[in-house]
Amino acid sequence: MDQDTLIALADRGYYKGEELRACEQAGITPLVPQPLTSNSKAKGRFDKRDFRYEADHDAYQCPAGERAPRRMSTIEDGMTIHVYGSSACPACPLRSQCTTERYRRIRRWEHESTLESLQSRLDERPEAMRVRRQTVEHTFGTLKAWMGATHFLMRTLPKVATEMSLHVLAYNMKRVMKIIGVRPLMQAIMA
Ligand code: SF4
């Protein structure tokens, strides 16, 4: 595409933290909304978005205004997770809205700032997801219509990837022919 910078847009929740980080390290700016599901919120309690991280202190500020410093760290699925908590929980008047345990704990991936900058970028570009939908959803709908109401013909990931690539190539060729015409396309290919 002859671009120095790339922005990658994906549908809500289609990411892993490590993949977002790999994008950033490769100079690609990812934009993907985070899932809105939260067990705590569903049960009427504060969820993580109600806690504000204070990088200067490496601590969270909780909804009661208490500081929750880092208590411990653990490794889960190869990711380092820091655990934060306030010692004020047992006497807190908001505890019933916060936790069913004696102490509320907040978990933070060591590279969680990647997810936080992702959310800030999305907040600055509220139109991004609408543009993504308008740009790519119809393409997949068209491809599906061309393929018909059936499954992929091939089996196993490498073969299915090849089949899909051929569909995408055919789609792109038809689009270019429609937009610039067959002759200019042939000239561009020969050049
Ligand atoms: S229970 Fe603990 S973490 Fe929750 S609001 Fe109260 S002090 Fe803050």
Per-residue pLDDT of the chain (191 residues; tens, 9 = 90+): 678 889 999 988 888 888 999 998 999 999 998 877 778 887 889 999 899 999 999 999 999 999 999 999 999 988 899 999 999 999 999 999 999 999 999 999 999 998 888 888 999 998 999 999 998 899 999 999 999 988 999 999 999 999 999 999 999 999 999 999 999 999 999 98
Tens digits of per-residue pLDDT, 57-81?
A: 999 999 999 999 999 999 998 889 9
Ligand 1, CB within 6 Å, residue ranges: 62-64, 66, 68, 86, 88-89, 92, 94-95, 98-99, 104
Within a domain: 180: yes
User: 0.85 exceeded by the pTM?
Assistant: no
CB atoms within 10 A of CB 20: 22
- The dihedral over CA atoms of 117, 121, 126, 127, expressed in degrees to the nearest 10, equals -140
State the average pLDDT for the chain: 92
Regarding whether 148 and 109 lie in a shared domain, the answer is no
Structural contact between residues 60 and 73, judged by C-beta atoms closer than 8 angstroms: no
- Give CA–CA dist 63/73, Å, rounded: 23
Map tokens 């504060």 to a residue.
46
pLDDT recorded at residue 162? 98
Distance (angstroms) between ligand 1 centre and the Cα of 67 equals 9
- The dihedral over CA atoms of 19, 132, 37, 14, expressed in degrees to the nearest 10, equals -30
Beta partners for residue 67, in sequence order = 61
Regarding whether 101 and 144 lie in a shared domain, the answer is no
Using the atom order of ligand 1, give the atom closest to the CA of residue 89: 2
pLDDT recorded at residue 37? 74
pLDDT recorded at residue 39? 81
Q: Whose CA is nearest to atom 2 of ligand 1?
A: 89
Within a domain: 145: yes
- The structural domain count of the chain equals 2
Pocket test for ligand 1, best of 87, 98, 107 (most atoms within 8 A of CB): 98
Q: Which domain holds residue 152?
A: 127-190
